[in-house]
Amino acid sequence: MIRLEDLSVTIHGAPILSEVSLDIAPGKVTGLVGESGSGKSITALAMMGLLPHGSTASGHAWLEEGDVLAKTEREMCTLRGNRVGMIFQEPMTALNPLKTIGDQVAETLVIHGRATKREALEIARARLARVGLPEDRFPLGRYPHELSGGQRQRVCIAMAVALNPELLIADEPTTALDVTTQAQILDLLKRLVAEEGMSLLLITHDLAVVSGLADHVAVMQAGRIVEQGPTEALFRSMAHPYTRKLFAASSHQPARVAQAEDVPLLTVENAVRDYATARLGIFGQPGRFRAVNGVSFTLRRGESLGLVGESGCGKSTLTRAILGLDALQGGAIRLDGQEIHAGPHLDATIRRRMQVVFQDPYGSFNPRWRVERLVAEPFHLSPEHLPDRRDRVARALEDVGLEPEAMHRFIHEFSGGQRQRIAIARALITNPDLIVLDEAVSALDVRVRAQILDLLARLQEEHGLAYLFISHDLSVVRSVTDRVMVMKGGEIVEEGPTEAVFAAPAHDYTKALIAATPRIPADWQGEQNA
């Protein structure tokens, strides 16, 4: 179908891809796995002739018509969308918010002169039904903002397959989606490939996703394909050390001992949080949306408690209330018996005992401050000026495995994993009892994630920390928590010791979540562990 032959790309002289050779067989799913920065997306963009400015490519990308790299922009335009379709990671921004979904799907057909406007809309209708958006519930006149993330990704897929392309490139198509939605989208892609005889190039960092979907897998590291082969054989043999490392990291289990004391640290009692929604009409009352509905739980000293749920389930709202950022409408949250009130009047001693690490290592720091000031920010609460401020920052940085000299640098000089370490240092600096980890490892590559999880386990042991671990990633929660709570629709539907909940989920929703999590078949891993 498409054959890459010694494809090399440099951007402004820096080598990005070197001698990538890859065969994408018709009617098959090819998985391209690697960490961020390994060149996966550039490979896809090169196939589409969409390389960024300043890049030079050598080698060949053979399509039936000849070498894609040798084609002019005009020729590529007829190829894109027509023979090769593409879907992206972020369904929220991949659609034009001002056009209806019908128009957007029909557009591809009209541009390529395959149909008149009227015919195109009919085909769009059929295509949308094909990807699971039937006419009666999703008329063509819907706008993107009326759809959920998973539904938007379906629209993107409908657009990409509108012209029956021979090749569909899916660049991290489910990374931004919840597990249950991810399972549905992957299922849809699988069906499309099987029924339409299309080839699919699935680009992802998630080995488990690839193992369940791909026929052929290529593992990429630093712009090179280090290993490729049929999926099962590759997983069984794992000839290249990098593949083994990736694999080990993705199922990494940090060594940790349960050290929870039987002393309650954080208690949440019947927490209720309402939001005002849009007014219905000019004179209508604003509606109420109950994001957190009567949530109660206790987090013990030194315990790791997981909070699992999909986006919109209320876990972020609950976190903000616990951190004293938003006020509750009912119930109470207490840290060591002291009630947490939202707002600036929250007692400094409570604040100091509770810290947070956020998901996005890029948005978590003021870009104009040096690391020393960033890490020391929570000291703001200390009444007296601390003479040993610099020493404490140095110690916190050493604690998280960074050189103390890092304090003189700016945040943009650090990688995502290092930034997350700095975020943890910032949380540690006040010697807190509780650190809230709000999707703290979700944005990291598997290997970096494994390192951060190890770090968190070590810090917990050394400092007797309690963690509230909030995540949508079940496998991560399973590996680092003592107890887990499952949240849905603002309520906690299931709670219990982590292993017990995962081994025998009682609530249907928990069962659905666990079933939807992609997993590498257990028997494929035998040869590694032997």
Output 174 or 359, the one with its CB closest to another protein: 359
Residue with tokens 């956020």: 358
Nearer to another protein, 38 or 359 (CB): 359
- Of the chain, the end-to-end C-alpha distance in Å amounts to 38
As measured in angstroms, the least distance from the Cβ of 447 to another protein is 23
Question: What are the structure tokens assigned to 288, written together?
Answer: 């109420």
Name 216's Cβ contacts closer than 8 Å, sequence gap at least 6. Answer: 23, 25, 28, 29, 30, 31, 228, 229, 230, 231
Smallest separation, CB 437 to another protein (Å)? 13
Decide whether 22 or 434 has the Cβ nearer to another protein: 434
Alpha carbons within 13 A on the beta-carbon side of 40: 26
Q: How near is the Cβ of 13 to another protein at its closest, in Å?
A: 12
Q: Tell me whether residue 299 or residue 354 sits nearer to another protein (CB atom).
A: 354
Closest separation in Å from C-beta 333 to another protein: 14
* Distance of alpha carbon 252 from the chain centroid: 17
Q: Which is nearer to another protein, 74 or 368 (CB)?
A: 368
CB of 374 to another protein, least distance (A): 8
Cβ closer to another protein: 82 or 364?
364
Q: Which of 36, 179, 160 is nearest to 87 (CA)?
A: 160
Where do we find the tokens 């799907």? Answer: 105
Q: Name the helix (H) or strand (E) containing 200.
A: strand 199-204
Structure tokens at 191: 């069906």
Alpha-carbon distance of 252 to 250, in angstroms, equals 6
**Residue with Cβ nearer another protein (166 or 433):** 433
Cα distances (angstroms) measured from residue 375 to each of 406, 408, 423, 452: 11, 11, 7, 17
Q: Give which of 326, 309, 244 is closest to 471, Cα–Cα.
A: 309
Minimum distance, C-beta of residue 416 to another protein, in the bound complex (Å):
13
Q: 379 burial class (0-12, 13-18, 19+ CB within 10 angstroms)? A: middle
> Closest distance between another protein and the C-beta of residue 343, in Å?
9
Decide the pairing of beta strands 330-335 and 264-279.
Answer: antiparallel
What b/e sequence results for 227-266 when a residue is b if at least 16 CB atoms lie within 10 Å of its CB, and e otherwise? bbeebeebbeebebebbeebbebbbbebebeeebeeeebb
The whole-angstrom separation of Cα 169 and Cα 161 is 10
Query: Which lies closer to another protein via its Cβ, residue 377 or residue 454?
Result: 377
Q: What is the smallest separation between the CB atom of 276 and another protein, expressed in angstroms?
A: 10
CB of 52 to another protein, least distance (A): 9
Nearest-approach distance from CB 24 to another protein, in angstroms: 31
- Which of residues 353 and 488 has its CB atom nearest to another protein in the complex? 353
CB of 468 to another protein, least distance (A): 13
C-alpha count within 13 angstroms, C-beta hemisphere, residue 508: 0
Q: Which residue's CB is nearer to another protein, number 141 or number 363?
A: 363
Least separation in angstroms between residue 414's CB and another protein is 14
Record the tokens describing residue 24, joined without a space: 């994408």
SS3 content of the chain, % helix, strand, coil (to 5): 40, 25, 35
What is the phi/psi pair of residue 430, to 5°?
Answer: -95, 15
Q: How far is CA 442 from CA 220, 470, 477, in A?
A: 21, 10, 11
Residues binding another protein (CB under 8 A)? 12, 53-54, 323-325, 344, 346, 348, 351-352, 354-356, 358-360, 363-368, 377-378, 380-381, 423, 426
Q: Would you say 152 or 351 has its CB closer to another protein? A: 351
- Report DSSP state, residue 369: S
28 versus 351: smaller Cβ distance to another protein: 351
